[in-house]
Amino acid sequence: MIDERSRKKLMVEHSRLLNAADVDGLLGLYADEVTFEDPVGADQRSGRDALRTHFEEFVRAGVRETLGDPVAGQDGKHVLAPASAVMDYLPKGPGFAERGWITAPDDPTGKRITWHYVLMLRTGKGGAITELKALWGRSDLAVTD
């Protein structure tokens, strides 16, 4: 278990590394046996290789995350924060449209996807992240200019 302040700092560092497009740095925060769901309700995936692919897709889309104030659980493991993000419609937008999460624009040129979510991280031994969950629904996504 790590203290509340350390878990909150971990959440902020996670967002900083994502915005810096530092996939290796992000993966350095995670345990080898990590599990993740983004969004919650999608298939749960596991392992650093799958997580690398997940983060690389968002980095290719130019994701920019704005993190709200993290809140740490009293269990010594969890930290959550509200967040919003913006990314280019391409390359991930068509997959979102196929799943029915957004309506595909007639012309994706210059379009962006914005969304609001809650990010949850669970830590394990030594403070490594063992689980990531992003909670959001269809009404939390929008295609913008």
Q: What is the DSSP string of the chain?
A: ---HHHHHHHHHHHHHHHHTT-HHHHHTTEEEEEEEESSBTBPPEESHHHHHHHHHHHHHTT-EEEE---EE-TTSSEEEEEEEEEEESTTTHHHHHHTTSSPPPS--TT-EEEEEEEEEEEE-GGG-EEEEEEE--GGGEEEE-
**Contact predicate 113/93, CB 8 Å:** yes
Per-residue pLDDT at 51: 96
Per-residue pLDDT at 36: 97
Q: How far apart are CA 65 and CA 17, in angstroms?
A: 10
Angle between the N-to-C axes of helices 4-19 and 48-60, in degrees from 0 to 180, rounded to the nearest 10: 50
Per-residue pLDDT at 95: 93
Per-residue pLDDT at 2: 87
Per-residue pLDDT of the chain (145 residues; tens, 9 = 90+): 789 999 999 999 999 999 999 999 999 999 999 999 999 988 899 999 999 999 999 999 999 999 999 999 999 999 999 999 999 999 999 999 999 999 999 999 999 999 999 999 999 988 999 999 999 999 999 999 9
Per-residue pLDDT at 125: 85
